[in-house]
Amino acid sequence: MPARSFIKAGFLFRSNPRNGQYNKVMGASFGLFRLQQVDRQIDQAQARTAEIQQTLENSEELLAAKNQLELAQAGKSQAERALREIEVQAKGQQIKIEQSESSLYGGKVRNPKELQDLQNEVAALKRHQSTLEERQLEAMLKAETQQTALQAAEVNLSHVQSRLGDQHSQLIEEQNTLARNLERLQVERRSIVVDIAKQSLEMYESLRQQRRGVAVVEILDNACSACGTTLTAALQQAARSASQLARCPSCNRILYAR
Ligand SMILES: [Zn+2]
């Protein structure tokens, strides 16, 4: 059948939609329109799959909890080290005091000047000792605070891990569902593609890349639904052609008419 009469036949069927043969002649853009619907679903499923993968691999919340734990561990070690140092100093100070007191009360030193010096020395050592004791107390409190912070960080991390464990298993389940959907969509895609001419398919693929995923547009209210350009009656009729593709004169997309 020559293309011209074929189009004409298509037009006739369409002008009598109740004659039961309405669906027998489809416009050439119908296959591409369906293909685009499937391709959009494929794009969405792939984007969501990638998003889930990223969440699974790189959870900010988990990293933050681990970081908090590391900081708390470092803080606790530092506080304990400071406490040990002050304890050593306090102990050394205590020994000095005992030595000076034993000289003072041992009876070997009898010279009043020397005794006075020793007494002054013991008093100075004791003053410094009480300063050290205050510092020791501060260091102990700080070490306790750090210990509490560390425990809180450990509890927080385990909560985050268990919550993410639940969330992650849900995400993995969603990913499996998406993979099954993608398989089904690819089968559907192949079944659509076999009926489309190679040239049309190439035009569709390159337009989809150029036009942010939208290569085929429906005619709505006598206009291109992508760019809004009003289309002539002749162009709208051409969009129903079973043998050739009509393009929007403004955005160049392939036109599809229901
Ligand atoms: Zn347009």
State the distance from the centre of ligand 1 to the C-alpha of 75, rounded, in angstroms.
64
State the distance from the centre of ligand 1 to the C-alpha of 200, rounded, in angstroms.
18
Average pLDDT, the chain: 88
State the distance from the centre of ligand 1 to the C-alpha of 253, rounded, in angstroms.
6
Tell me the residue type at 133.
Answer: E
pLDDT digits (tens, 9 = 90+) for 141-171: 999 999 999 999 999 999 998 888 888 899 9
Look at residue 82 and tell me whether its pLDDT is greater than 90: yes
State the distance from the centre of ligand 1 to the C-alpha of 208, rounded, in angstroms.
13
State the distance from the centre of ligand 1 to the C-alpha of 218, rounded, in angstroms.
9
- pLDDT value at residue 7: 37
- The whole-number average pLDDT for the span 79-105 is 93
- CA–CA dist 105, 115 (Å, integer): 9
Nearest to 257 by CA among 243, 241, 192: 241
- The whole-number average pLDDT for the span 84-93 is 94
Q: At what angle do helices 60-105 and 112-193 cross, to 10 degrees?
A: 170
State the distance from the centre of ligand 1 to the C-alpha of 166, rounded, in angstroms.
47
